[in-house]
A and B are shown apart, each in its own frame.
Chain A
């Protein structure tokens, strides 16, 4: 068989790519299937059953687990709380992080120290941070107790208060994660071309105009990324709820994940928990896919 080199080369390259695929794809595919696709499929299957985790999975109940979940006032409140975390993250945490980043993005010695200090909460384990704050908020023995005592006020029990307990969680979320977003912005700011800022200055732009028309557009990809992290992180919030309130008082401070844990796992309602997990999964995937498709497509 005679072929020209011209015809032969692409064929060989294709062969090589194919063999690379055959060798390199299976391990990744296997791991992905085993640890991602399989559990998701299994959870979806269990979510159609009333199963307590023991014995055979044989009590098929259709979509009742989903119905029960959406009918539950606690789950509705959990979804609302998740939305609240997202709103607070976007409206307070990210602007705060950006503001602080602008202050500490310089290369001065002081900036580096402050960057470190603001980043420190992020390094702490969530559960440890939650327990520390639980102690601070405690109305009998904690920092709150000392504060109210010093001011001569009646003790305040923030974590026992129906409308305010979740605000305490929100405050801890902002405190814990704004440092992370600040670091993202600091990295982004260091990539902003100084010559553009100088050019704007020569053209007579004031500080706000420079920020609005040069820095902000240059920082946009980083902001889009940080919004992505903030939203996905908000949807997955669990540790602070577990450490600070366990969903209380009166089940008003649950998130979807803590609802899954306290109403699915600890109650041995594996089917019900799987249904909640599936809802959470769909929300996360829909957001991640939609966001990357429409918002981050140019990044």
Chain B
């Protein structure tokens, strides 16, 4: 090898490597283990990187629990702080914002917020500051097994009222069918029940009022009454035997195996009930129905009010300017449409939910489109400390280990200890 070729080789090496030195790396941490969704995200990053020389956007996955445990530490130092990260909004985001780790990107993203669902954008706005851009949303309906309903002679349209719902549960019991499956071993699935009772009794302002300390805070009659309703339901023994130790994955398996008639769960159940079922397939979608949570007599909540999550990528205070720019790019119709088409999630870009093909997910998206009050999951809204207490007491009340009054007081205590 002559000196010249060596020199040429090293020159071309530096020529190739040169852009690498100028790279701005933008790391986005997330917890999504839905492969279809992550594929679209990675593609969006690759597209952006190709169009922007010197910028490298990358999505990095961390397992849910690990993410939650590590993030507070990672946020402390500039070296370990990601440019953006996955968020459920609510109390945790507020604490992060209060500690000064987040960046207001309202000015940077400009008009793109107008193309997104306003309730989703609101969920990531604190005191007029926008800390990130939402990308998906979800609602929790009651999924039911059509064949089991038919066998017990239960009609979903009769289940919209509380009396009708209880009558349906009794019919299922009489037919030897487990009416409801709940993964209470992980607690939060039971808190969906408690949350919906609060929403149906107290309406759109119940949770916000309690947080603001109005009328005794969480000790107010709405939360006590919600506990009583949960106990009224639990008295019929509607849950699968051993529910107190059932994990979320097991509960999906039980539903997939057709061993229980109803599951109050997010739309991700559709992706879980198959793989977790004994035969690996679960219930065919044609045998699964979707219905809203019943209304309660005298309650202020409406049948159309929904409980569910909404997710965004929040931008940290030291993130490069390109971070907000990428999120703008990421929020374009193209990726939202793709996510809708493959059924990865329900996107929040206006109009893209129409591209959803899966009939059940489509029904949930329609519920979301019509809702006048969409409530973020209570445990996310309230933050990790009070939120987990709600989860604890939901299970304890359902099992009559705790009175509804004591449960309401326990939530209020946690709020005051925050």
Interface residues of A, Cβ cutoff 8 Å to B: 50, 52-56, 68, 138-141, 155, 157, 159-160, 162, 165, 245-246, 248-251, 265-269
Contacts and interface: CB of A to CB of B under 8 A. Distances in A.
Contacts of A159: 185, 242, 245
A174 B288 CA distance: 45
| 9 closest residue pairs by CB, A with B | A157-B242, A55-B99, A249-B244, A160-B245, A54-B99, A53-B72, A160-B242, A159-B245, A160-B244
A55 B254 contact: no
B384 interface: yes
B395 A266 contact: no
A54 B95 contact: yes
Contacts of B384: 52, 266-268
Nearest to A269: B385
Given A54-B99, A140-B242, A160-B244, A246 B186 contact: yes
B95 A268 contact: yes
A139 B242 contact: yes
A52 B245 contact: no
Interface string B387-406: 01000100110010100000
A273 B246 CA distance: 27
Interface string B71-82: 011010000000
Given A52-B385, A250-B401, A265 B69 contact: yes
A82 B401 CA distance: 22
B92 to A, nearest CB: 7
Contact of A139 (B68, B241, B396, B417): B241
Contacts of A249: 184-185, 244-245, 395, 399
Contact of A248 (B68, B245, B383, B417): B245
Contacts, number: 84
B185 A267 contact: no
A250 B242 contact: no
Nearest to A262: B388
Contacts of B395: 248-250
B388 A140 contact: no
A94 to B, nearest CB: 30
B329 to A, nearest CB: 29
Interface string B123-167: 000000000000000000000000000000000000000000000
A140 B185 CA distance: 14
Contacts of A268: 72, 92, 95, 383-385
Contacts of B242: 139-140, 155, 157, 159-160
A61 B372 CA distance: 41
Contacts of A250: 244, 395-396, 399, 401
A274 B384 CA distance: 17
Nearest to B259: A140
Nearest to A253: B245
25 contacts: A50-B417, A52-B95, A53-B73, A54-B95, A54-B99, A55-B95, A55-B98, A139-B242, A160-B185, A160-B242, A160-B243, A160-B246, A165-B245, A245-B185, A246-B186, A248-B244, A248-B245, A266-B65, A266-B68, A266-B69, A266-B384, A266-B388, A267-B384, A268-B92, A268-B384
Q: Per DSSP, are chain A's interface residues mostly helix, strand or loop, or mixed? A: loop
A145 B246 CA distance: 14
Nearest to B240: A140
Q: Per DSSP, are chain B's interface residues mostly helix, strand or loop, or mixed? A: helix
B250 interface: yes
A54 B74 CA distance: 10
A149 to B, nearest CB: 14
Interface in B331-387: 383-385
Contacts of A162: 401
A106 B243 CA distance: 48
Nearest to A138: B250
Contacts of B253: 141
A139 B388 CA distance: 27
Nearest to B92: A268
A276 B72 CA distance: 20
A50 B414 CA distance: 12
B101 interface: yes
Nearest to B244: A249
Given A55-B98, A246-B186, A251-B392, A140 B399 contact: no
A250 B399 CA distance: 9
B19 interface: no
B10 interface: no
Contacts of B20: none
Given A248-B184, A267-B384, 5 more contacts: A54-B101, A55-B99, A56-B99, A160-B246, A267-B388
Contacts of A165: 245
B299 interface: no
A248 B244 CA distance: 7
Interface centre among B92, B245, B388, B395 (most CB of A within 10 A): B245
A54 B399 contact: no
B287 interface: no
A267 B91 CA distance: 11
Contact of B254 (A140, A160, A267): A140
A275 to B, nearest CB: 12
Given A54-B72, A54-B75, A54-B96, A246 B185 contact: yes
A34 B384 CA distance: 30
Nearest to A155: B241
B99 A68 contact: no
A155 B242 CA distance: 9
A68 B184 CA distance: 26
B29 to A, nearest CB: 16
Nearest to B413: A68
Contacts of A54: 72, 75, 95-96, 98-99, 101
Interface centre among B72, B100, B396 (most CB of A within 10 A): B72
